[in-house]
Structure 1
């Protein structure tokens, strides 16, 4: 049974209030749903890989059934793409990313922010190591 417009607005207001009051808790709740969806996609992709490999091997073993091996290869390829897409999609919206209801944020923008922070951290660590080495050589 779908929600009425009034109920949808109330639900959105409640979500915004939850994000405003306790964004860490709201993100944790959302993350568990996302992880479940990602895990389901990865399992589907693994199943597709198994079926694709079986078709590929069956097509190679039986003479004259090379089209089956081509279909198997395509299934393996598609399953691999699905697995990578599901894996990257789950990692991009990891806990710590901005809340989806927050204004001016989206999955692409949140992942760019996370990536930028991680890159800065790596470069900062590299610079610190470089400085330590220079200090040790200078002593």
Structure 2
């Protein structure tokens, strides 16, 4: 459920207060966000992919142990899937999950607000109609 504008403002005030009191701690918290997690996951997947290539080649060199090649291929495939899904889930460079002034981008807030305005207008019209009858 998205935050209301009031809740977003309060969150921003708390973030600013945290940065003012302890900027070192706030910076450490910021680094543990979704973007850092997905970046780390992609790097691990790339490293696993390279291990898979090594296993594939080792299995090809030692022809008696062909199953090592199969395991290497499966490791490569799994790591490729992890890298692609991690890359797709990563926030764009301009976006932030939480940070100083961590408001969400405008394009997400505006449609919700207009919908809420329409709902409030309808509610107000219904109340006016009921009071008028």
TM-score w.r.t. length of structure 1: 0.47
Higher helix share: 1
Q: Compare relative contact order (CA 8 Å, sep 6+) and give the higher one, 1 or 2.
A: 2
Point out the structure with max Rg over C-alpha.
2
TM-score w.r.t. length of structure 2: 0.49
